[in-house]
Chains A and B, each alone.
Chain A
Amino acid sequence: MTYQFTLGFDDPSCRQTDLVGGKAAGLAEMTSRGVPVAPGFVVTTAAFREFLDATGRAGEISELLGRLERYDLDAASLAAERIHSWLADAALPEVARREIEARYVELSAAAGTPGVSVAIRSSASAEDSVLSSFAGEFETWVDVAGLDDVLAHVHKCYLSMFAPRVLSYVLDRGLDHGVIDMAVVVQKTVRARAAGVMFTLDPVHGDRSQVVIEANWGLGLSVVGGEVIPDRYTVDKVTRQERQRVVGSKRLAYLRGDRGPVEVPEDRRQVACLSPAEVLALADLGMRLEELQGKPQDIEFAVDEELPEGGNLVLLQCRPETVWSGRQRPAAFDAGSSMMSWIAGAISAPSRGASGVGGHHHG
């Protein structure tokens, strides 16, 4: 079928911010560069406009908002209440409903799970300067399952545009609510078989040639929180070889984000949670992100157990590494002295045996 109100992340149009909002455009950008994000789709800003127009209240809403004064919290609350009453029972446009249904069924099929659990979040669209100040103003719902619930949450997302908190936020900053559009991202909830953190440099030595991965069974929470001794994998970026694998002692794991940790069975604690192929694929992902961002990255990832092998890596978060990236490492040899003195130093120094067994370094 052709789609009017929804887009996959791999659709080139999905990189247009005015159509899909900043968040979805970011996901599409990643997808286009081969960075795996949790699979899903976006309900475009056009659907939101269609929804508002179909209520016949668009004019009234904009008039109501136009009359609001800065810092008048009570008036904002009152306006929010009125708008909510106009939109609460308004249906999503029929075409949008059908498209969401088709996309959701497709997503469920890919995960091999009918009525797959998804996360639903807003993806606001406006000029960059407006958008950047909006971070965190909108809600995210996780573990939404079943078509009816998905549709209900898209609707909730629309209403959240007019929550008192959002309205006063817009007013207080002197922004025009009318220029903000709303798209909705629907993304499969990650069911992590294993997850963890990856640095595109060695966080201990600052070695730029290495990717270091720490991982545990389940979600990455236990790794980030330091609750287990995770597995540790090191990959050389240049030779693309797994250089070191130290299997940890993983006595607990978080299998669901909404529940506490569970005991890992004895016989799985000292088993590597990532396969050699997954380690190399993750390192490739890390290198691609570093290339895209132009500097070493600190990455959170998961290996989804519902997605097929080869397509089961999911990037959760990615930010610049800050400890080593800015640091200038002293060169091995004094640039001001002669090469002969370097050589004399090298053959005299009781350091770093040339066999390099176990990367042992002497004081």
Chain B
Amino acid sequence: MNETARFDYLSEAKTPAGAEGWERMYPYFLLPNKDLRTHEDSHLWFTDTIHWSRGCHPFDSIGAEAVYLGAGQNSARIYAIPTSLGLDVRIVNGYVYISPNPVVDPAEIQERLEHFTVRASYYYENWEELYERWKLKIGSVVDAMNALSFDPLPKFEPVEAVFEARGRSVSWKIIENYHKLIDSFFLVWQHHFEFINLGYGGFLTFFQFCKNAFPSISDQAISRMVAGIDVLAFRPDEELRRLALLGHELGLGAELTARRPAAQTQERLAVNEAGRRWLDELERSKDPWFNYFAEYGFTHDQETWRDNLDLPFNGIARYVEMIERGEDIQRPVDRIRQERDDLVTGYRRLLGDIEAKQFDELLALARRVFPHIEEHNIFVEHWAHSAFWTKMKELGDFLVASGFLAARDDIFYLNRFELDQVLFDVVESWAIGVEPRGTARWRREIEQRRDIMRALQAATPQPAFGTPPAEVTDPLAVMNYGVTTELVQEWLHGASGESTGLSGIPASPGVVEGVVRVLRSEHDLDRLQEGEILVAPITAPSWGSAFSVAKGVITDVGGMMCHAAIVCREYGLPAVVGTGFATTRLKTGQRVRLDGDSGVVELLGGEA
């Protein structure tokens, strides 16, 4: 590698026109820091568009705090992963950048190893039991968030304040509940990392065993041997299929495929018995399965299926049409299971006795931990995030009711520390009997920030900053983010415009040629036509209906373990993830050859 090859330093990042002053929107510790230039310049910072595919609003930066708090706590301090501390984090031009923080001193690694062995083995040995407890823990945090309320402040305190001798005001509940909501969010993200890196570790051990025994084995073959079959991750999409089948049986196909707005479809269905029966089943599916983001719910502006029933209704319509064409829409569970068993048998018989024994033990370990890897998004990203944003929007309503904000979503133009001050201002002003001191000031600021955000979101993030290491070595970072030495090189060349093709991580096998459809957001999903190749910033698993329409998937970011890679393998859809530039290099209508085995996307001449 060229010693001098590097990306711009964080301090050299250029602000997009119209976004001047963006820095003031975020907490100081998330900003590039001139006092730490030696540290910042010598590290590689790559963009985390897996979690934040768009420039994030001031309040949404709470996710960048929470994710990398939880990741660091668990990796560095709780389990003492021998060679990895946490991931350092910055926000540049609204996008989140992270930097692995490895341990290199052998004595330190040895010390950490001793702790790790004791601590991690407790979890591996008691995995199922502890995982059940984890589900309960997440459930109780979600319940706690759902129980919070932000009622408008009354003119007079309820009389119970007197007769129950409370000696305190309900207004403080606003501040208390806000703090509880924030605490819950941080707690969920600590829980998120309780299992996940241990899970990846278990899988990675099996992975490395396979790569040693079969140096040329494909990554997908390894994951397919481990993949769960009846995991929760597939439930939301299965609910759509269930509803499509039921609708078809009840003779509602014409209504369900008319693609009217969901509200109108529901009204039209409610007029007869069959329609009402279907609507009852829809209600049953909604909780909890429609608490499901089209992405992962890292930003406030994402919708769940519940928020926007058009999303699941579109999926249902597509399934009904498939049924009407005589296609089988059930997941081919038996075939998947058979293929999985055939792979295991096929590779195992090529091993000697000692290796076969290790293979069995490690396959069992990998299968033990894999359901968590596949399912955890449902609990954290979908269920906890949907509860969190729902409550934040209620708090936005409270501020509108208080006359502080003009619109509910304006709340997200304040970061969490600023919001704490605003809430205090509102509550204290109410108590004193004066207008909140900051109304005009913050409304002005919000208008300015609206322009800044527009400018930030219109800009494409630079894939990385700083100095790449000779090798990207952290196996967990590599697996989670797909950032390999090769990809960083690709970025470097791409950044200087030298590269002609696109390559990424071969996430799901198969080769297809076709016309691409570049979609930057799930809101554009209905533009995707049958047989097109979907190109998106991230692979979002819940673009469920897209997977039955697209014939291949290409993304800017993601690793072989990203949720969508898993889903694509399930659906037998070729996929290349982590290309870095697919959404900026490819234009809708171009023809490409997508090779899910080699990870290469080749631009073919001629447009459709």
Q: Contacts of A350 on B, CB cut-off 8 Å?
A: 83, 471, 473-475
Contact B214 A332 (CB under 8 A): no
Closest to B84 in A: A347
- Contacts A205-B215, A207-B216, A352-B208 given: A347-B475 contact, CB under 8 Å? yes
Contact B475 A243 (CB under 8 A): no
Q: Which of A236, A331, A342 contacts B217 (CB 8 A)?
A: A236
Q: How far is the CB of B578 from chain A (nearest CB, A)?
A: 7
**Once bound together, how far apart are the Cα atoms of A339 and B198, in whole Å?**
13
Q: Contacts of B113 on A, CB cut-off 8 Å?
A: 344, 348
B204 adjacent to chain A (CB < 8 Å) = yes
A84 adjacent to chain B (CB < 8 Å) = no
Q: Which of A207, A241, A339, A349 contacts B215 (CB 8 A)?
A: A207
Contact B482 A355 (CB under 8 A): yes
Q: Which A158-205 residues sit within 8 Å CB-CB of chain B?
A: 202, 205
Closest to B208 in A: A346
Q: Contacts of B200 on A, CB cut-off 8 Å?
A: 347
Q: Which of A329, A339, A346, A358 contacts B361 (CB 8 A)?
A: A339
Q: Which B333-361 residues sit within 8 Å CB-CB of chain A?
A: 342-343, 346-347, 350, 352, 354-355, 357-358, 361
Q: Which of A207, A243, A333, A345 contacts B358 (CB 8 A)?
A: A333
Contact B216 A234 (CB under 8 A): yes
Interface window among B116-124, B235-243, B585-593:
B116-124
Contact B479 A238 (CB under 8 A): no
B371 adjacent to chain A (CB < 8 Å) = no
Contact A344 B82 (CB under 8 A): yes
Contact A237 B346 (CB under 8 A): yes
Contact A359 B216 (CB under 8 A): yes
Closest to B487 in A: A357
Q: Which B43-85 residues sit within 8 Å CB-CB of chain A?
A: 81-84
Contact B213 A362 (CB under 8 A): no
Closest to A359 in B: B216
Closest to B480 in A: A354
Number of contacts between A and B (CB, 8 Å)?
173
Q: Which of A205, A242, A340, A357 contacts B599 (CB 8 A)?
A: A357
Q: Which of B201, B218, B350 contacts A343 (CB 8 A)?
A: B201
Over the window 104-134 of chain B, the binary record of Cβ atoms lying under 8 Å from chain A Cβ atoms (1 yes, 0 no) is: 0000010001001100110010000000000
**Once bound together, how far apart are the Cα atoms of A355 and B575, in whole Å?**
13
A239 adjacent to chain B (CB < 8 Å) = yes
Contact A359 B215 (CB under 8 A): yes
Q: Contacts of B350 on A, CB cut-off 8 Å?
A: 208-209, 237
A2 adjacent to chain B (CB < 8 Å) = no
- Contacts A346-B475, A359-B215 given: A340-B109 contact, CB under 8 Å? no
Q: Contacts of A357 on B, CB cut-off 8 Å?
A: 484, 486-487, 503, 505-506, 599
A67 adjacent to chain B (CB < 8 Å) = no
Q: How far is the CB of A214 from chain B (nearest CB, A)?
A: 15
B485 adjacent to chain A (CB < 8 Å) = yes
Most buried by B among A340, A351, A361: A340
A335 adjacent to chain B (CB < 8 Å) = yes
**Once bound together, how far apart are the Cα atoms of A329 and B211, in whole Å?**
13
B561 adjacent to chain A (CB < 8 Å) = yes
Contact B472 A353 (CB under 8 A): yes
Q: How far is the CB of A358 from chain B (nearest CB, A)?
A: 6
Contact A205 B347 (CB under 8 A): no
Contact A331 B117 (CB under 8 A): no
Q: Contacts of A346 on B, CB cut-off 8 Å?
A: 201, 204-205, 207-208, 475
Closest to B347 in A: A238
Q: Which of A244, A343, A354, A360 contacts B560 (CB 8 A)?
A: A354
Contact A210 B471 (CB under 8 A): no
**Once bound together, how far apart are the Cα atoms of A289 and B152, in whole Å?**
80
Contact B83 A348 (CB under 8 A): yes
**Once bound together, how far apart are the Cα atoms of A344 and B117, in whole Å?**
8
**Once bound together, how far apart are the Cα atoms of A237 and B205, in whole Å?**
23
Contact B116 A344 (CB under 8 A): yes
A341 adjacent to chain B (CB < 8 Å) = yes
- Contacts A333-B358, A344-B113 given: A238-B120 contact, CB under 8 Å? no
- Contacts A207-B214, A344-B116 given: A353-B478 contact, CB under 8 Å? yes
Contact A238 B221 (CB under 8 A): yes
B219 adjacent to chain A (CB < 8 Å) = yes
Q: Contacts of A359 on B, CB cut-off 8 Å?
A: 215-216
B4 adjacent to chain A (CB < 8 Å) = no
Q: Contacts of A210 on B, CB cut-off 8 Å?
A: 214, 216
Q: Contacts of B212 on A, CB cut-off 8 Å?
A: 331-332
Q: Contacts of A275 on B, CB cut-off 8 Å?
A: none
On B, residues with C-beta under 8 Å from A are 81-84, 109, 113, 116-117, 120-121, 124, 197, 200-202, 204-205, 207-209, 211-219, 221, 342-343, 346-347, 350, 352, 354-355, 357-358, 361-362, 365, 471-476, 478-479, 482, 484-487, 503, 505-506, 509, 559-561, 578, 597-599
Question: Can you list 8 A-B pairs, Cβ within 8 angstroms, ordered by A?
Answer: A205-B215, A237-B350, A239-B343, A241-B509, A244-B216, A332-B211, A346-B208, A347-B83
Known pairs A236-B217, A357-B487 / 6 extra A-B pairs, C-beta < 8 Å:
A237-B350, A329-B355, A331-B212, A335-B354, A350-B471, A355-B478
